[in-house]
Amino acid sequence: MIEISTLSKTYGAQTVLNIEQLHIPAGQTFGLVGNNGAGKTTLFSLMLDLISPTSGTVTNNEVIVQNSEDWKTHTAAFLDESFLIGYLTPEEYFTFIGGLRGIKKEDVSIALEAYTDFFHGEVLGQKKYIRDLSKGNQKKVGIVGTLLSNTPLVILDEPFANLDPTTQIRLKNLLKEQASASGKTFLISSHDLQHITDVCDRIVVLHQGKIVRDEVTSPDTLKELEGFFSEQL
């Protein structure tokens, strides 16, 4: 699905990301972990062509992201609130996103029913604009927007942050369900080691822009990661 070779990003003298090689196969639930400034968001932004790499390329489903816009058809992403349109209601936002993906308004409404639990009655039918929702509810809108898009690739930056405990657990179930049922590829970053090891098949640890660990999730992974990050300090 994703192929990265000799990708780097440098600001002035500081290299914030430097990845020799990274291959993410289709259908994988890929977890990205790292402290602040490790380069997680930079990596996602490069994958989405939001920033330009200093060297190297990202290939998304055989499309070189830096050269062509064709990757947009099969990729959905939610990095932060700049992926939301504040003056729309959540319903209008979903219709907009759906419309861009060629999903009819009625089908969007049907698809939304699956997320009733996740929204917890706080998002739909409120007659509120997204800008007037709380941070947590805004996040729910953004996440569901990507899931609705029905794209083979979904990129989520720290989806668990800002969510209440109940919703965090529901999100975990939702992601696991979708990953196993639809064969979607998920790229997820998080600071929450517990959640990310629960959800992901594979965990990659970034430190100072470099991949320092890359392993398939096993029952021991959480312990190892905790050990790794406490030594870092």
Residues that bind another protein (CB under 8 A): 48-52, 69, 72-73, 75-77, 79-80, 82-89, 92, 96-97, 99-101, 127-129, 131-132, 149
In angstroms, what is the minimal distance from the CB of 60 to another protein?
A: 11
Q: How far apart are CA 222 and CA 200, in angstroms?
A: 11
Which of residues 38 and 77 has its CB atom nearest to another protein in the complex?
Answer: 77
In angstroms, what is the minimal distance from the CB of 72 to another protein?
A: 5
In angstroms, what is the minimal distance from the CB of 195 to another protein?
A: 24
Q: Which amino acid is at 17?
A: L
Both tokens of 50, joined, read 């939001």
Q: How far apart are CA 107 and CA 114, in angstroms?
A: 12
Which of residues 129 and 229 has its CB atom nearest to another protein in the complex?
Answer: 129
In angstroms, what is the minimal distance from the CB of 193 to another protein?
A: 27
Task: Give the rounded distance of the alpha carbon of 75 from its chain centre.
Answer: 10
Q: How far apart are CA 11 and CA 145, in angstroms?
A: 32
Q: How far apart are CA 7 and CA 223, in angstroms?
A: 30
Which of residues 18 and 146 has its CB atom nearest to another protein in the complex?
Answer: 146
In angstroms, what is the minimal distance from the CB of 232 to another protein?
A: 28
Question: What 3-state class would DSSP assign to 220?
Answer: coil
Which of residues 18 and 138 has its CB atom nearest to another protein in the complex?
Answer: 138
Which of residues 131 and 223 has its CB atom nearest to another protein in the complex?
Answer: 131
Q: How far apart are CA 176 and CA 183, in angstroms?
A: 10
